[in-house]
A and B are shown apart, each in its own frame.
Chain A
Amino acid sequence: MAYSPHTPADRGRMREALGIDTVDALFDDIPARVRANGLDLPEPLSELEVARQLQGLAERNRTGVTSFLGAGAYRHHIPAAVDAVLSRGEFYTAYTPYQPEISQGTLQTIYEFQSLIAELTGLDVVSASHYDGAAAMAEAALMTVRATRRNRVLASRAIHRHFLDTARTYFAGGEMTLEELPTAADGTTDLGALERELASSDEPVAGVLMGQPNAFGLLEPMAEAARQAHDAGALFVAVVEPVSLAVLAPPAEYGADICVGEGQPLGIGLQYGGPYLGLLAARPDLVRQVPGRLVGRTTDVEGRRAYVMTLRAREQDIRRDKAASNICTNQALCALAATVYLATLGPHGLRDVAALGAARARELEQALAAIGVERVHSMAYLNEFAIRVPDAQAVHARLLERGVLAGLPLARWYPEDEQLRDALLVCATEVTSAVDIGHFAEALREELP
């Protein structure tokens, strides 16, 4: 047995204490007609064989390509300190801190996580985390519905495709609707359309959702959009990339009532999509609408500072069908990764990460412009932008054969959009080197018709 401590003698002693001859007696309550007889699965493997099989699978993935792919999941340098802390069994083999007296480690780190995300966003109430950015945005959209008692949510089309798709799935069950706001030719959200939708009087709007940077990497006029939303009595939700907040205005400053985002860039590996970290921060007066766990600081009976899960009356195990959400598990270990990442990098380190990405992206833009490849959109970007390449999907495939992953062909997400038919969304981060950029530009030049 792989991990069982029980010897045949131990099992015998337990059966004897129970007065049974075989363990089958303990399964006699399963009616014969639905009783299964074992599993048609392979034989057990030793650790050596397990390791060999998994190593073989891992090696069949090709992660050594020169990558300019971001689109919501970003490659960053992860300080070794992050995994050193995550590997502590005291953290990763504990569970939800239901017994605060023996869970202060987890509780304090969640409180510190909440505090750090509050510093980044300027919004004071931060949930202990959600499954991922997409789920966090869906929850935020539902928050706007609960908080305003209105049913109509407007979301910019230039929010990550998967976020919009996920929100639509979450909205399937209720009375509420999710409508996409169009983008203008410059790639940012059409604020004229927003104004018209907000003014249409038949159904008042609960929330307006916009990305910063948006799904095309562009910087959106968030303050103006927030003002329009507020004038119509709607809440404004900013969908952000957290590293960018080291250099971009904090969402509270431009009027966001709720801020959500994918926390993966904060020290969490790409892992083909998860586990990631859904960030959700909100204005203090929205605290009772916030889904998921919250940790607060208090004292113990001796007056010592201590931490505890609080405002639990919002949660499913107390409120059942009246809960703010069905969420139970959060992403505590991923939140710990983000906490250690931010603590290790500090204010200057995080700014360097964000600013270096921007610098590398500009070098990339210039190198591509030098071979005649132009951006699709005119608006300012931070570290990700779309380029126009003739026959983009075929060129993308040929570049891959040469070891270059040339971002995301946007036609995959926007098949109906003429402007994006031949667009590749490319990004740079601090790990992108000048050599990588040279390699990309050279290969692309040779592949262009």
Chain B
Amino acid sequence: MTAVGPAAARPGDPAAEEVGEPGAVAKGAEQDVWAALGRRYAVGPSLQPTLDELSRPGRSSHKVPHAPPDALAGVPAEHRRREPLALPELSEPDVIRHFVNLSQLNYSVDGGFYPLGSCTMKFNPKVNEWAARLPGFAALHPLAPDALAQGTLELMWELERWLAEISGMAAVTLQPAAGAHGELTGILMIRAYHHARGDTDRREVIVPDTSHGTNPATASMAGFRTVTVRSAADGGVDLEALKAALGPRTAAVMLTNPSTLGLFETRIEGLLDAVHEAGALAYMDGANMNAVLGKFRPGQAGFDVMHFNTHKTFSTPHGGGGPGAGPVAVGPALVPFLPGPRVVREEDRSLRLERPGERPHSIGRVRSYQGSVGVLVRAYAYLLAHGGSGLVQVSEDAVLAANYLRRRVGEAYELPYEQACKHEFVASARQLKARSGVRMLDVAKRLIDKGFHPPTIYFPLIVDEGMLVEPTETEPLETLDAFAEALLEIAAEAEADPELLRQAPHEAPVRRLDEATAARQPDLRWRPMTGAQTPCPD
């Protein structure tokens, strides 16, 4: 083993000292496992051993028939695995209890208030889960001939049209797998657009200093240099700074609107005019589209391309960090460059996927097959349930709730921007820190003790000791009030007993973690096992 892995784990880590002790866990080591977990047995929702520590030789569950002895006769020995496969040996009851107990260590939207700004942790409707699991959707092969896929193709066709209406754009691709993937798709289309016009000197992408990290990272990945422009005092993009940065080398400007501060760009007309006057295109990061459904249509306003995050705006589950989907909508100029295959309606009303090479200017594929279709089914179910009027109500309720909560939180925390917020707001603990020494991190950790998931903290970076709070439209007033009360209590605790906050959380499954050691001596997998302990049934 080299620097990464079990051998690099800290001395005294029982798991690290067991290398070469496969499958079963030795008796003494087992006691050490419990010591490491701070408990004596594996039942109940507290820290759990790993699957390899739970493994016992001979345990299994009979899920598929046993293969005949000569099953691999056609596979030459040189290609075959020589060492038996080293996976944990478990019974189904072991597996279920392990994961159910682990699940209970998680905070979730189903269980509580999750005001993580920029992430839109709203309720995930249950009928959407049911729909995505319908066998007609779930069992459809991605290369099935079009004739077998008319239902899903119809859903995709319809969803594209809903998203075109919402965005005010000409056309939509559903292929990108996530918002950042949508950004890459959009920026590559912009690149192709300029190149198709022979305009190959545009090597820069401009982003504001409040942008999501994915924006500059996307620009780099697409081969552009990032130019960052500062924000004005009111939180919006500084128009003069943008104009100074724009030029014949600018390919695109990426704007998040409403911004990551939760503010609508009030100078949006001037910004878009300046971008287009410079011959550049305007990309809208649609992460915050949930605030302005039916209130602001980016294509109509002059943006050339945008992505949606279905897991934000249309409430597809976040899944502990994915999967998402990142449909991209484009104005007329970019339609020829959309990735393929697109869904095409034939004269007889049947639907089909484009064939390779059908659109010569397409940037090509950004992934295999057609996209995160299972996620798109959920998004479509969400849209159907709301309809046009319901989507407008979603934004109105989200913005109303955010402004209400902002007003209440402002009783004890600094609100750095005066403008009414959209779906989220920034508050700062700068003054609290000056008075008591506690940081926003400590406030966030103390919220855990009060039963809440903390907001996003220290983003956007331009706000000192900032938290970005997004209540969403699906939290009742009582929850908003309780959260505000908790933050006010914490502000009082900060002055009375700052140490209480610095040590928080006190009532979570674990306390604060040693993140420095985790990075200095990365332990990224359990110790290698050396193969199944029982012979294969054949």
Contacts and interface: CB of A to CB of B under 8 A. Distances in A.
Given A41-B388, A106-B321, A346-B87, A31 B142 contact: no
A435 interface: no
Q: Most A CB atoms within 10 A — which of B37, B75, B514?
A: B75
Nearest to A33: B269
Given A57-B154, A169-B339, A308-B513, A95 B320 contact: yes
A91 to B, nearest CB: 5
B414 to A, nearest CB: 19
B9 to A, nearest CB: 7
B102 A109 contact: yes
Nearest to B36: A305
Contact of B368 (A92, A273, A320): A273
Contacts of B37: 304-305
A274 B532 CA distance: 32
A321 B220 contact: yes
A36 B297 contact: yes
Given A302-B38, A350-B85, A380-B76, A4 B397 contact: yes
Contacts of B419: 29
A274 B370 contact: yes
A79 B220 contact: no
Interface in B386-401: 386-394, 396-397, 399-401
A71 B124 contact: no
Contacts of B302: 34
Interface stretch (A9-17, A148-156, A438-446): A9-17
A43 B110 CA distance: 27
Given A17-B404, A300-B513, A272 B79 contact: no
B498 interface: no
A430 B2 contact: no
A1 B518 contact: no
Contact of B510 (A100, A319, A344): A100
A353 interface: yes
Contact of B296 (A23, A30, A46, A298): A30
Given A5-B475, A124-B4, A329 B221 contact: no
A93 B108 CA distance: 5
Contact of B124 (A67, A92, A245, A356): A92
Contacts of A11: 397, 400
B24 to A, nearest CB: 13
Given A95-B320, A124-B524, A308-B513, A38 B294 contact: yes
A200 to B, nearest CB: 25
Interface string B310-348: 010001011111111100000000000001000000000
A296 B523 contact: yes
A233 to B, nearest CB: 20
B103 A408 contact: no
B37 to A, nearest CB: 6
A328 interface: yes
Contact of B319 (A15, A47, A91): A91
B407 A17 contact: yes
Interface string B135-149: 111111111110111
A209 B139 CA distance: 30
Interface string A98-142: 111111111011111011101110001110110111110000001
A61 B321 contact: no
Given A57-B154, A273-B368, A296-B518, A322 B81 contact: no
Contacts of B445: 99, 101
Given A57-B151, A132-B177, A285-B2, A87 B129 contact: yes
Contacts of A79: 61, 63, 92
A73 B213 contact: no
Scoring A92, A133, A330 by chain B CB atoms within 10 A of each residue's CB, the highest score goes to A92
Given A23-B399, A57-B152, A30 B141 contact: no
Interface residues of A, number: 208
B366 interface: yes
B78 to A, nearest CB: 8
Interface string B358-401: 00000111111111111101001101111111111110110111
Interface stretch (B162-170, B430-438, B487-495): B162-170
Contacts of A193: none
B448 A306 contact: no
B513 A299 contact: yes
A343 interface: yes
B269 A51 contact: no
A251 B459 CA distance: 40
A110 B324 CA distance: 17
Contact of B68 (A3, A96, A105, A359): A359
A126 B525 contact: yes
Interface stretch (B113-121, B241-249, B274-282): B113-121
A352 B399 contact: no
A278 to B, nearest CB: 9
Interface residues of B, number: 230
B515 A308 contact: yes
Contact of B75 (A23, A219, A312): A219
Contact of B147 (A47, A54, A91, A400): A400
Interface class of chain B by DSSP: loop
B55 to A, nearest CB: 9
Contact of B396 (A23, A43, A132, A166): A23
A65 interface: yes
B43 interface: no
A60 B151 CA distance: 5
Contact of B301 (A34, A102, A308): A34
B319 A92 contact: yes
Contacts of A301: 511-514
B453 A99 contact: yes
B85 A246 contact: yes
Contacts of A96: 119, 318, 320-321
Given A104-B509, A104-B510, A114-B525, A340 B95 contact: yes
A270 B139 contact: yes
A247 B134 contact: no
B264 interface: yes
Nearest to A361: B74
A306 B226 CA distance: 37
Contacts of B519: 296, 310-313
Contacts of B286: none
B403 interface: yes
Contacts of B92: 79, 81, 344
B370 A41 contact: no
A61 B223 contact: no
Contact of B522 (A44, A273, A296, A334): A296
Contact of B367 (A85, A132, A298): A132
A29 B213 contact: no
A316 B217 contact: yes
Among A102, A120, A308, find the residue whose CB has the most chain B CB atoms closer than 10 A: A102
A41 B136 contact: no
Contacts of B477: 5-6, 10, 13-14
A19 to B, nearest CB: 9
B44 interface: no
Contacts of A323: 213, 217, 220
A39 B388 CA distance: 5
Contact of B110 (A90, A283, A284, A297): A90
Contacts of A89: 108-111, 124
Which of A53, A296, A330 has most chain B Cβ within 10 Å?
A296
A2 B111 contact: no
A90 to B, nearest CB: 4
Given A298-B518, A328-B214, 15 more contacts: A4-B474, A35-B296, A60-B151, A85-B103, A173-B223, A276-B372, A284-B2, A300-B511, A305-B36, A316-B212, A323-B213, A326-B183, A327-B180, A328-B212, A328-B213
13 contacts: A6-B473, A17-B408, A77-B64, A81-B96, A91-B106, A104-B102, A104-B106, A162-B369, A166-B366, A321-B225, A334-B323, A346-B90, A352-B66
**Which A-B residue pairs are the 5 nearest by beta carbons?**
A273-B369, A58-B136, A173-B223, A89-B110, A333-B319
